[in-house]
């Protein structure tokens, strides 16, 4: 999904809620935030989010999937298993839908914790490290520690982050 398509689907979701006379709230994570907020990549395969009222938004999302020929899980809450309390900011404030996004520090912590070494997470993490002007790998781990206990970071993930940070240091400005 391209940035413009995600925006279109969020507006369609707002309309579905308006027709039901329901106010909803959604907080976006992952690739959707990287596309919408940071323009760090052109697309994402799905929209990771948490939302309320969950049942009504799920039903509306299924209708949108049918109308736009999207995968049934184009909007999904699979991310909820990774969430802890964190800052959010309003991205869109529509008539019946408030769209929030996680702040960049939390995005970095979350992406680091759930990093898929063979996916786009590396580029997203690199972007966020640069965006946040983080200077040392220790600062990355201090930031992660604000949200998640260090003991839950897998050794492979820790090594991945260290190697990624070394690459960033070796190639500034890329």
Contact (CB, 8 A) for 140 and 126: no
Note the pLDDT of residue 164.
85
Q: List, for residues 47-102, the tens digit of each pLDDT value.
A: 999 999 999 999 999 999 999 999 999 999 999 988 999 999 999 999 999 999 99
What 8-state DSSP symbol labels residue 42?
Answer: S
Beta-strand (E) ranges in 53-133? 75-76, 88-93, 97-102
Quick one: average pLDDT of 133-159?
88
Round the average pLDDT of the chain to a whole number and report it.
Answer: 92
The radius of gyration of the chain from alpha carbons, rounded to an integer in Å, stands at 17
Residue among 3, 75, 69 at smallest CA distance from 46: 75
Q: For residue 24, what is the enclosing H or E element?
A: strand 24-29
Note the pLDDT of residue 150.
78
d(CA 50, CA 100): 10
Residues 93-113 as b or e (16 or more Cβ within 10 Å = b):
ebebbbbbbbbbbbbbbbbbb
Burial label for 143, CB within 10 Å (0-12, 13-18, 19+), is: buried
Percent of the chain with pLDDT over 70: 97
- The answer to whether residue 158 scores a pLDDT higher than 90 is no
Task: Count Cα neighbours of 14 within 13 Å in the Cβ-side half-sphere.
Answer: 14
> Regarding predicted confidence, which is higher, 169 or 71?
71
pLDDT category, 12, cuts 50, 70, 90?
very high
pLDDT category, 122, cuts 50, 70, 90?
confident
Quick one: average pLDDT of 124-136?
92
Quick one: average pLDDT of 141-145?
92
Write out the two tokens for 108. Answer: 């970095």
Write out the two tokens for 25. Answer: 């709230």
Residue among 130, 123, 116, 111 at smallest CA distance from 42: 123
Percent of the chain with pLDDT over 90: 72
Q: List, for residues 32-51, the tens digit of each pLDDT value.
A: 999 999 999 999 999 999 99
Contact (CB, 8 A) for 128 and 111: yes
How are strands ordered across the β-sheet holding 47-52?
A: 75-76, 47-52, 24-29, 97-102, 88-93
Note the pLDDT of residue 140.
92
Note the pLDDT of residue 117.
64
């Amino acid at each position: 999904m391209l940035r413009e398509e995600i925006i279109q689907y969020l507006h369609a979701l707002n309309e579905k809620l308006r027709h039901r006379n329901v106010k909803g709230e959604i907080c976006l994570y992952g690739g959707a935030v990287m596309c919408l907020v940071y323009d760090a990549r052109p697309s994402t395969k799905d929209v990771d989010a948490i939302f309320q009222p969950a049942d009504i938004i799920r039903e509306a999302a299924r209708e949108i999937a049918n109308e736009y020929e999207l995968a049934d899980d184009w909007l999904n809450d699979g991310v909820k298993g990774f969430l802890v309390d964190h800052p959010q900011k309003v991205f869109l404030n529509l008539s019946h839908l408030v769209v929030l996004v996680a702040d960049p520090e939390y995005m970095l912590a979350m992406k680091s914790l759930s990093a898929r070494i063979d996916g786009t997470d590396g580029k997203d993490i690199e972007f966020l490290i640069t965006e946040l002007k983080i200077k040392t790998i220790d600062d990355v781990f201090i930031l992660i520690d604000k949200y998640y206990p260090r003991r839950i970071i897998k050794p492979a993930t820790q090594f991945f982050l260290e190697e990624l940070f070394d690459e960033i240091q070796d190639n500034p400005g890329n």
